[in-house]
Structure 1
Protein backbone atom coordinates (compact mmCIF):
# COMPACT_ATOMS: atom_id res chain seq x y z
CA UNK A 1 0.00 0.00 0.00
CA UNK A 2 1.67 3.23 -1.11
CA UNK A 3 1.74 6.07 1.42
CA UNK A 4 1.06 9.59 0.23
CA UNK A 5 2.10 12.70 2.09
CA UNK A 6 -0.46 15.43 1.45
CA UNK A 7 0.94 18.95 1.79
CA UNK A 8 -0.98 22.24 1.92
CA UNK A 9 0.55 25.67 1.15
CA UNK A 10 0.15 26.68 4.82
CA UNK A 11 2.54 23.91 5.90
CA UNK A 12 -0.03 21.37 7.07
CA UNK A 13 0.92 17.79 6.27
CA UNK A 14 -1.05 14.53 6.52
CA UNK A 15 -0.08 11.03 5.39
CA UNK A 16 -2.53 8.43 4.07
CA UNK A 17 -2.25 4.86 2.85
CA UNK A 18 -3.83 4.27 -0.55
CA UNK A 19 -5.17 0.86 -1.59
CA UNK A 20 -4.33 -0.45 -5.10
CA UNK A 21 -6.38 1.38 -7.75
CA UNK A 22 -8.00 3.57 -5.07
CA UNK A 23 -8.20 7.25 -6.02
CA UNK A 24 -6.25 9.52 -3.71
CA UNK A 25 -9.39 11.55 -2.95
CA UNK A 26 -11.18 8.42 -1.70
CA UNK A 27 -8.22 7.46 0.51
CA UNK A 28 -8.10 10.95 2.00
CA UNK A 29 -11.83 10.89 2.74
CA UNK A 30 -11.51 7.44 4.32
CA UNK A 31 -8.86 8.95 6.63
CA UNK A 32 -11.14 11.87 7.52
CA UNK A 33 -9.19 14.39 5.43
CA UNK A 34 -11.18 16.85 3.34
CA UNK A 35 -9.84 17.80 -0.09
CA UNK A 36 -11.49 19.98 -2.74
CA UNK A 37 -13.50 18.08 -5.36
CA UNK A 38 -16.34 18.54 -7.80
CA UNK A 39 -17.23 15.97 -10.44
CA UNK A 40 -15.24 12.90 -9.22
CA UNK A 41 -14.64 11.81 -12.83
CA UNK A 42 -11.66 13.94 -13.91
CA UNK A 43 -13.54 16.59 -15.88
CA UNK A 44 -13.83 19.72 -13.72
CA UNK A 45 -10.29 20.04 -12.29
CA UNK A 46 -11.46 21.15 -8.84
CA UNK A 47 -9.40 18.39 -7.20
CA UNK A 48 -6.11 19.27 -8.92
CA UNK A 49 -2.97 18.48 -6.95
CA UNK A 50 0.70 18.29 -7.84
CA UNK A 51 2.76 15.15 -7.30
CA UNK A 52 6.42 15.23 -6.31
CA UNK A 53 9.06 12.54 -5.77
CA UNK A 54 6.99 9.59 -6.86
CA UNK A 55 4.79 8.12 -9.53
CA UNK A 56 1.05 8.38 -9.86
CA UNK A 57 -1.26 7.28 -12.63
CA UNK A 58 -4.79 8.21 -13.53
CA UNK A 59 -7.34 5.36 -13.55
CA UNK A 60 -9.38 7.28 -16.16
CA UNK A 61 -8.26 9.85 -18.77
CA UNK A 62 -7.66 13.18 -16.95
CA UNK A 63 -9.79 15.37 -19.21
CA UNK A 64 -9.33 18.48 -17.05
CA UNK A 65 -5.54 18.52 -17.59
CA UNK A 66 -3.49 19.19 -20.70
CA UNK A 67 -0.26 17.38 -21.58
CA UNK A 68 1.89 20.21 -20.24
CA UNK A 69 0.09 20.00 -16.89
CA UNK A 70 0.70 16.26 -16.67
CA UNK A 71 4.38 16.75 -17.54
CA UNK A 72 4.63 19.30 -14.72
CA UNK A 73 3.31 16.72 -12.23
CA UNK A 74 -0.29 17.89 -11.88
CA UNK A 75 -2.81 15.18 -11.00
CA UNK A 76 -6.54 14.93 -10.42
CA UNK A 77 -6.95 13.41 -6.97
CA UNK A 78 -10.41 12.05 -7.84
CA UNK A 79 -8.92 9.66 -10.43
CA UNK A 80 -5.20 9.52 -9.55
CA UNK A 81 -3.68 6.63 -7.64
CA UNK A 82 -0.06 6.41 -6.46
CA UNK A 83 2.21 3.65 -7.70
CA UNK A 84 4.84 4.31 -5.01
CA UNK A 85 5.17 6.44 -1.88
CA UNK A 86 5.02 10.09 -2.88
CA UNK A 87 4.18 13.64 -1.88
CA UNK A 88 1.21 15.50 -3.35
CA UNK A 89 0.63 19.21 -2.89
CA UNK A 90 -3.11 19.82 -2.41
CA UNK A 91 -5.55 22.66 -1.82
CA UNK A 92 -7.29 25.26 -3.94
CA UNK A 93 -4.04 27.18 -4.53
CA UNK A 94 -2.68 24.33 -6.66
CA UNK A 95 -5.52 24.54 -9.18
CA UNK A 96 -5.34 28.33 -9.22
CA UNK A 97 -1.72 28.12 -10.46
CA UNK A 98 -2.87 26.30 -13.61
CA UNK A 99 -4.79 29.37 -14.68
CA UNK A 100 -2.63 32.24 -13.43
CA UNK A 101 -3.30 35.59 -15.06
CA UNK A 102 -0.04 36.80 -16.68
CA UNK A 103 -1.34 40.39 -16.70
CA UNK A 104 -1.49 40.82 -12.92
Structure 2
Protein backbone atom coordinates (compact mmCIF):
# COMPACT_ATOMS: atom_id res chain seq x y z
CA UNK A 1 0.00 0.00 0.00
CA UNK A 2 1.41 3.38 -0.97
CA UNK A 3 1.39 6.35 1.36
CA UNK A 4 1.14 10.03 0.57
CA UNK A 5 4.03 12.14 1.85
CA UNK A 6 3.84 15.93 2.08
CA UNK A 7 7.08 17.82 2.68
CA UNK A 8 6.91 21.31 4.20
CA UNK A 9 9.68 23.89 3.78
CA UNK A 10 9.75 27.31 5.42
CA UNK A 11 8.05 29.96 3.31
CA UNK A 12 4.89 27.89 2.72
CA UNK A 13 6.45 25.63 0.05
CA UNK A 14 4.96 22.12 0.00
CA UNK A 15 5.52 19.06 -2.19
CA UNK A 16 3.40 15.91 -2.12
CA UNK A 17 4.28 12.50 -3.57
CA UNK A 18 3.65 8.82 -2.90
CA UNK A 19 5.98 6.31 -1.31
CA UNK A 20 5.92 2.57 -1.82
CA UNK A 21 6.09 0.42 1.34
CA UNK A 22 9.69 -0.61 0.68
CA UNK A 23 10.97 2.88 -0.29
CA UNK A 24 12.57 5.35 2.03
CA UNK A 25 11.20 8.88 2.05
CA UNK A 26 14.43 10.02 0.39
CA UNK A 27 14.10 7.42 -2.40
CA UNK A 28 10.42 8.25 -3.01
CA UNK A 29 11.15 11.98 -3.11
CA UNK A 30 13.95 11.43 -5.64
CA UNK A 31 11.64 9.29 -7.78
CA UNK A 32 9.15 12.20 -7.74
CA UNK A 33 11.89 14.63 -8.84
CA UNK A 34 12.21 16.30 -5.43
CA UNK A 35 15.75 16.97 -4.28
CA UNK A 36 16.53 16.59 -0.60
CA UNK A 37 19.94 16.83 1.04
CA UNK A 38 21.68 13.60 2.01
CA UNK A 39 25.14 12.22 2.47
CA UNK A 40 25.71 8.83 4.08
CA UNK A 41 22.37 7.07 3.31
CA UNK A 42 22.93 4.93 6.43
CA UNK A 43 21.52 7.10 9.22
CA UNK A 44 24.82 8.26 10.64
CA UNK A 45 25.19 11.88 9.48
CA UNK A 46 21.79 13.66 9.93
CA UNK A 47 22.14 15.52 6.63
CA UNK A 48 18.69 14.22 5.59
CA UNK A 49 16.87 15.03 8.85
CA UNK A 50 13.18 15.87 8.85
CA UNK A 51 10.61 16.35 11.58
CA UNK A 52 7.43 14.29 11.45
CA UNK A 53 4.46 16.62 11.93
CA UNK A 54 1.77 14.04 11.23
CA UNK A 55 1.82 10.33 10.42
CA UNK A 56 4.16 7.51 11.31
CA UNK A 57 7.49 6.30 9.95
CA UNK A 58 9.81 3.46 10.83
CA UNK A 59 13.56 3.56 10.45
CA UNK A 60 15.07 0.59 8.58
CA UNK A 61 17.81 0.48 11.21
CA UNK A 62 18.68 2.44 14.31
CA UNK A 63 19.15 6.13 13.38
CA UNK A 64 22.64 6.54 14.85
CA UNK A 65 22.72 10.30 14.23
CA UNK A 66 19.66 10.85 16.46
CA UNK A 67 19.65 10.49 20.20
CA UNK A 68 16.61 9.44 22.26
CA UNK A 69 15.54 13.05 22.82
CA UNK A 70 15.67 13.79 19.07
CA UNK A 71 13.52 10.73 18.33
CA UNK A 72 11.05 11.71 21.08
CA UNK A 73 10.74 15.13 19.39
CA UNK A 74 9.76 13.37 16.11
CA UNK A 75 12.99 13.89 14.19
CA UNK A 76 13.65 11.27 11.52
CA UNK A 77 16.44 10.47 9.09
CA UNK A 78 14.74 10.37 5.71
CA UNK A 79 17.45 8.20 4.11
CA UNK A 80 16.39 5.24 6.29
CA UNK A 81 12.77 6.20 7.11
CA UNK A 82 9.86 4.36 5.51
CA UNK A 83 6.30 5.65 5.78
CA UNK A 84 3.80 3.45 7.62
CA UNK A 85 0.91 5.82 6.96
CA UNK A 86 0.37 9.13 5.19
CA UNK A 87 2.85 11.67 6.57
CA UNK A 88 3.53 15.39 6.77
CA UNK A 89 7.23 16.11 7.30
CA UNK A 90 8.97 19.44 7.89
CA UNK A 91 12.30 19.66 6.04
CA UNK A 92 14.98 22.23 5.31
CA UNK A 93 17.84 23.97 7.03
CA UNK A 94 15.71 25.23 9.93
CA UNK A 95 14.84 21.65 10.87
CA UNK A 96 18.49 20.66 10.93
CA UNK A 97 19.33 23.73 13.02
CA UNK A 98 16.71 22.67 15.60
CA UNK A 99 18.26 19.24 15.97
CA UNK A 100 20.27 18.68 19.14
CA UNK A 101 24.03 18.32 19.10
CA UNK A 102 25.67 15.44 17.30
CA UNK A 103 25.80 12.19 19.29
CA UNK A 104 29.37 11.89 17.98
CA UNK A 105 30.46 14.82 20.17
Alignment TM-score, normalising by the size of structure 1: 0.92
| Structure 1 residue 13 displacement after superposition | 0.3
* 1:95 aligned counterpart, secondary structure: helix
Q: Hey, what's the Cα distance between the residues in 2 that align with 1:32 and 1:54?
A: 22
Aligned CA RMSD, in angstroms, stands at 1.1
**What do residues 23-51 of structure 1 show as CA deviations (whole Å, max 9, x unaligned)?**
10010000000011111110000000000
DSSP-derived class of the 1:50 partner: strand
Runs (5+) with no aligned partner, structure 2 = none
Secondary structure at the counterpart of residue 50 of structure 2: strand
Would you say how many aligned residue pairs link Structure 1 and Structure 2? 100
CA distance in 1, matches of 2:44, 2:11: 27
Superposition deviation, residue 91 in structure 1: 1.1
Q: What runs of 5+ residues in structure 1 fail to find an aligned partner?
A: none
| Residue equivalent to 1:23 | 24
Task: Give the structure-2-normalised TM-score.
Answer: 0.91
Runs of 4+ with >4 A deviation: none
The residue number in structure 2 matching 1:3 is 4
**CA positional deviation for 1:99:** 3.9
CA distance in 2, matches of 1:93, 1:53: 18
Equivalence for 1:87: 88
